[in-house]
A and B are shown apart, each in its own frame.
Chain A
Amino acid sequence: MTGNFALRAALPRSSVGLAALALCALFLIIVVPLLNLVVPDGSPFHLADYMVPLLGKYLCYALLALALDLVWGYCGVLSLGHGAFFALGGYAMGMYLMRQIGSRGVYQNPVLPDFMVFLNWKELPWYWYGFDHFWFAMAMVIAVPGLLALGFGFLAFRSRITGVYLSIITQAMTYALLLAFFRNDMGFGGNNGLTDFKDLLGFGLQARGTKIALYLGSVIALGLGLAVTRLVVATKLGRVMMAVRDAESRVRFLGYSVTSVKLFAFVLSAMLAGIAGALYVPQIGIINPSEFSPGNSIEVAIWVAVGGRGTLVGAILGAVAVNAAKTYLTAAFPEIWLYFLGGLFVLVTLLLPNGLMGLVGWMPRAPRVDAVAKEEKHA
C-alpha cells in the first residue's frame, strides 16, 4: 500500500509528464553514453569527451537547485547559503580524493597531502582521520552539511527568524565559511583548495569510463533526489510545509510545530546539496573556497526562479538552462554574461513569477505563493 503511494507520488500524474520523464531518462542514461562511447570520433553525432563532465556538472547544479526548491518553493525559506552545503559536501569528497593520491603527490608523502607538506605540517590534523575510507567520506558528505543545517536551522527557526532576515544570516553563514576556508591554518588547502586528484575507488579520474560512470552517478542521484523530494511534498508533511510557507502563524496556531517542519526540510535539502557537491568535485577536478562565496548561493536562487519555484522539475530545468547559457555566453560574449544574468534576475522576478514552468500550461497547480503572503503582510 505505502509502496504504491510512494510510486504514485514520485511519478508524474499525467501521461504527458510520464512520457516526458521517460524520454529525459532515456536520453540521459542511454543516448549520452552511447554518443560518447560508441559513435566514432569523426562522426557529427559523436559527443566530445569534455562534454560528459560538463553535462555531469549541470546535473549536479540541478540537484543543488532541486534542494533549494524544496526549502524555498515549498517551505518559504529562502536560503542564500546553500552553496555552503554544496561546498562542504564537495570538500568531504575532495578530502577522500586527496588521501587517495597517497605518495603520488609532488612531495611523495604517503600520508600528508602536498599542501600540508608545503606548509611544513608534521602530521595529519584529526579531522582528516578516516577520510581514506570511501564509506566514511560518503557518510561525511551527508553528515557534515546535515549537521550544520540542523544546528543552524534549529537556532534560526526556533527564534522564528523568517523572510529576509533568514536570507541574510544564511548569507552571513556562507560568508564566514568562505573566510574560514581561505585560511591556510584551517587545513583545507587555503585559497588553492583541494586539487590534483588521481583516482576514485581505484579508477583513474581521467579515464573515459570513470567519467561516464560519474556522469551516470549524477543522473541517478538527480533522479533519486527528484523522487524523494516529490514523495516528501506529496505526503501530509509536504502539505504542512506548504501551509507554513503560505501562512506560518496560522499553522502554528493550529498546533503544528513549525520549527520541526522547517528543520526537516532544511536538513534534507542540505544533505541533497552535499551529495550534489560530492558528485561535482571529481568531475570538475577541484574544490576551492570560492564555492562558498555568497554570489554563488544567490545564483542558485535564480536558477530555481527561472525554472519556477515550488515545482521541483522547474528547478532542474532552470539550473540546466541558465548554466548552458552561461557556458555559451562566457565563451562567446564574455562581456555580456553579467548583463544577461542580471537581466534574468530582474525580468524573471518582474514578469515571470512562476518561471518557465509557469509558461508551460500543463503544470496544473503552480502555487500562488505571493497572493497569500501578500495578504498576510498587509493584514
Chain B
Amino acid sequence: MRSFGLLFVVAAGLWLLPVASYADDAAASPDSDAAAPAAALRDFASGVGALNGDSFDDKIAAVNFLGGLNDPRAVPVLQALANDALFVTSDNAIVLKSGDQYLDALTAKPVSIANPDDLSEITINNRLRGVLQGVLGQLSLLSPDPALRIEAAQAIANQPTADAADRLSAALAKETVASVRQAMQATLSLIDLRSTDRARRLAAIDALSGSTDPRVKGQLETLLTDEKDAELQKAAQKAIASITFRLKIVQVGVSLFEGISLGSILLLAAIGLSVTFGVMGVINMAHGEMIMLGAYSSFLVQQAFHAFLPARWLDAYLVVAVPVAFAVTAGVGIVLERTVIRFLYGRSLETLLSTWGISLILQQVVRSIFGPDNQAVANPSWMTGGVPLIAGFILTWNRLAIIIFCFLVLGALAALLRFSQFGLYMRAVAQNRAMAASMGIRTGRVDALTFGLGSGIAGIAGVALSQVGNVSPNLGQIYIVNCFMVVVFGGVGSLWGTLVGALSLGVATKFLEPWAGAIVGQILVLVFIIVFIQRRPRGLFALKGRTVEG
C-alpha cells in the first residue's frame, strides 16, 4: 500500500515539471490567447469558467465564489484543481481528469478527448492552494461521506472563523446523521466559547462539559484564564472537572483494551509452553524461537504471495500463513523431541539447558539465512486502521483481530483436550505417566505429538506477533521471560490458569504503565510474581493430585 502511495507522489511530481515551465511561459506573455476572458460570477457554470482566469486573483475569486455556492458539484472540480488535474480544452471547455478518463466539469459526464496534448492545465500557486484547502474543507461539510463531514467539522475547530461558523450552522440544519451532528455541535460550541455574548458562552460551556476531547479541555482552560464573569468561571471549572473525570474513565478503557491486547499476545505465546510444561514437565527454552520461526513462516508466505500470485490475493496470505506456520514449527518441534528431548525426561534442569542451546542454534540459523535485520511483514488491508470509539481512543483492527484469534485458538485447544482421543491421552499422561503407560497408552508418541502441538501453537503465535511487532531473529528472546512468568503465575498445565495469568499480567502491566512508566511497570510485575510464587508455589490454578510433588 505504501509503495503505491509513493509511486503516486513521484508521478505527481513528474507531472509538475512541464506545468512549471508552462507557468513561466504564461507569466512571460500575459497577452497569450490561452486565457479566457474573466466572466461575471453568476452561477456554478460561470464560476467554473472563471477558474481559468487570467490572474491568480481572478482564480481565487472564482474558488471563493464556488465555495460560497454550497454546491456539492463544486467539490470534485476544486479537488481536481488542487491535484493539478483540471484542464482547458482547445474550445475553452473545462474538463477534469478522473483516473484514465476525462469528465466535463459542469455535467460530470465523460467526454472523449482526441489528443490529450491539446489540453492545457489550469495552474495554481501556493496562495491559491491555501484558499482551495480552506474552501474544500468547508465544502466537505456537504460531502456525501459522513466520515469526511466529521473530519471537516473537526478541522474547523482547529481554525475557527465567524464565516466558518455560519457555514457550519447551515450544514448542521441540514445534517441528519447523529454522529456528524454531534461533531458539528461540538465545534460550534467551541467557536461560541469566544463569543462576545455571555449567554452563548455559558451555553457553550454547558454543551461542552460532556466532551471527552483533551483539546476541548485545553480550550476551556484558556477560557478560564481570560474569563471575568464569576458564574461563567464556575461553570467552566465544573465542565473541566467533568471532562477530566471522563478522560480518566476513557484512560481506564484504553488501558483495559491495551492490557487485554497485550494479555492475548502473552496468552498466545505462553499457551504452547503451558501444554508442554504441563504434560511433559519439560521446560522448553526454545519456545521463543518457535514463535520466531512462526513469524518468519508468515514472512515467507507473504513473499511467496508477492512473487507467484496476483496482487489482489495478497490480503489472503495471513489465512495461509497460520497453517503453514503451525506445520513448520510443529515439525521442528517433533524432530527436536525425537532427537534430543526424549533422552532427557526426568532431568528437567538438563532439558532446560539443552533447549537453551537449541534456541541459540535456531537463532543463528535464521540470522545466517535472513540476516540480522528486521523483516517487513505487512498487515493485510482488512487489518489496517481501526474504529475510533471516542476521541483519543481508536480500536485498531489488528489488535482486535489478535484478541479474537487468540480466543479461537484457546477454544480449539480446550476442545481438543476435552473431546478428542489424543486430548484424553494427553490428560492421562499429564496426570499419571506410569498409570497411563500401563493402560496401553504409547506415552512416547503422546510426548512427541504434545511437543509438536505446543510448538505449533507457538508458531501460530508468531504469525500473530508478526502483525504487531518486528520480525527479527531476537523475536523469541523478547517474549520468553514473560511467557514463563505467565505459566508460573497461572499454574503449570492449566489452560484456565494460563488464560487468567496472561490477561491479568497484561492488564496489570498496562495499568501500571501510565502511573509508573513502561519499564518500572514491568519490573513491578516481575517483583509481584516473584513474591506471589512464595505464597502459591504452584501458581493460581495448581493441578491437584498426588503426583504434584516432585
**CB-based contact A175/B361 at 8 Å:** no
A264 at the B interface (CB under 8 A): no
Interface residues in A316-366 by Cβ distance below 8 A to B read 335, 338-339, 341-346, 348-350, 353
Task: Give bound CA distance, A43 to B490, whole Å.
Answer: 64
* A161-B537, A350-B340 known; A172+B434 contact, CB < 8 A: no
**CB-based contact A345/B526 at 8 Å:** no
**CB-based contact B357/A169 at 8 Å:** no
**CB-based contact B357/A345 at 8 Å:** yes
Interface residues in B522-550 by Cβ distance below 8 A to A read 522-523, 526-527, 529-531, 533-535, 537, 549-550
B353 at the A interface (CB under 8 A): yes
User: DSSP majority for the A interface?
Assistant: helix
Interface residues in B341-359 by Cβ distance below 8 A to A read 343-344, 346-354, 356-359
CB distance from A330 to the nearest CB of B (A): 12
**1/0 per position for A363-379, CB-CB distance to B under 8 A?**
00000001001101111
Pick from A155, A349, A376: contact of B353, CB under 8 Å = A349
In the complex, chain A residues whose CB is within 8 Å of the CB of B477: 295
A164 at the B interface (CB under 8 A): yes
Chain A residue, CB-CB nearest to B518: A179
User: DSSP majority for the B interface?
Assistant: helix
Total chain B interface residues with beta-carbon distance under 8 A: 45
Task: Give bound CA distance, A295 to B289, whole Å.
Answer: 14
**CB-based contact A175/B481 at 8 Å:** yes
A219 at the B interface (CB under 8 A): no
In the complex, chain A residues whose CB is within 8 Å of the CB of B349: 78, 163-164, 167
Interface residues in B396-421 by Cβ distance below 8 A to A read none
**CB-based contact A302/B353 at 8 Å:** yes
A305 at the B interface (CB under 8 A): yes
**CB-based contact A176/B526 at 8 Å:** yes
B379 at the A interface (CB under 8 A): no
Q: Interface of B with A (CB < 8 Å)?
A: 283, 285, 340, 343-344, 346-354, 356-361, 363-364, 368, 433-434, 477, 481, 484-485, 488, 519-520, 522-523, 526-527, 529-531, 533-535, 537, 549-550
* A342-B359, A346-B357, A346-B358 known; A168+B364 contact, CB < 8 A: no
Chain B residue, CB-CB nearest to A379: B550
Task: Give bound CA distance, A160 to B523, whole Å.
Answer: 24
In the complex, chain B residues whose CB is within 8 Å of the CB of A176: 522-523, 526-527, 530
- Interface size, A (range): 35 or more
* A161-B537, A169-B530, A342-B361 known; A305+B353 contact, CB < 8 A: yes
**CB-based contact A339/B364 at 8 Å:** yes
Task: Give bound CA distance, A346 to B349, whole Å.
Answer: 12
**CB-based contact A344/B357 at 8 Å:** yes
CB distance from A278 to the nearest CB of B (A): 25
Chain A residue, CB-CB nearest to B351: A349
Task: Give bound CA distance, A281 to B350, whole Å.
Answer: 31
A87 at the B interface (CB under 8 A): no
In the complex, chain A residues whose CB is within 8 Å of the CB of B481: 171-172, 175, 294
**1/0 per position for A72-87, CB-CB distance to B under 8 A?**
0000001000000000
Chain B residue, CB-CB nearest to A298: B356
**CB-based contact A173/B530 at 8 Å:** yes
Pick from A294, A335, A349: contact of B344, CB under 8 Å = A349
A183 at the B interface (CB under 8 A): yes
Pick from A155, A179, A374: contact of B523, CB under 8 Å = A179
Pick from B283, B343, B360, B530: contact of A342, CB under 8 Å = B360
24 A-B pairs in the complex with CB atoms less than 8 angstroms apart: A155-B530, A160-B537, A161-B533, A164-B348, A169-B529, A169-B530, A172-B481, A175-B526, A176-B523, A179-B519, A179-B522, A294-B481, A298-B285, A305-B353, A335-B364, A335-B368, A344-B357, A345-B354, A345-B356, A345-B360, A348-B353, A349-B344, A349-B350, A378-B346
Task: Give bound CA distance, A377 to B550, whole Å.
Answer: 5
**CB-based contact A346/B364 at 8 Å:** no
**CB-based contact B534/A338 at 8 Å:** no
Pick from A180, A294, A373: contact of B347, CB under 8 Å = A373
**CB-based contact B352/A346 at 8 Å:** no
A107 at the B interface (CB under 8 A): no
Interface residues in A77-117 by Cβ distance below 8 A to B read 78
A165 at the B interface (CB under 8 A): yes
A144 at the B interface (CB under 8 A): no
**CB-based contact B346/A158 at 8 Å:** no
* A158-B534, A173-B530 known; A168+B357 contact, CB < 8 A: no
In the complex, chain A residues whose CB is within 8 Å of the CB of B285: 298
A156 at the B interface (CB under 8 A): yes
A120 at the B interface (CB under 8 A): no
In the complex, chain A residues whose CB is within 8 Å of the CB of B353: 298, 301-302, 305, 345, 348-349
Task: Give bound CA distance, A78 to B537, whole Å.
Answer: 17
A159 at the B interface (CB under 8 A): yes
CB distance from A332 to the nearest CB of B (A): 16
**CB-based contact A339/B530 at 8 Å:** no
Task: Give bound CA distance, A108 to B434, whole Å.
Answer: 71
**CB-based contact B534/A155 at 8 Å:** yes
Considering residues B348, B358, B433, which has the most beta carbons from chain A within 10 angstroms of its beta carbon?
B348
In the complex, chain A residues whose CB is within 8 Å of the CB of B363: 338
**CB-based contact A182/B354 at 8 Å:** no
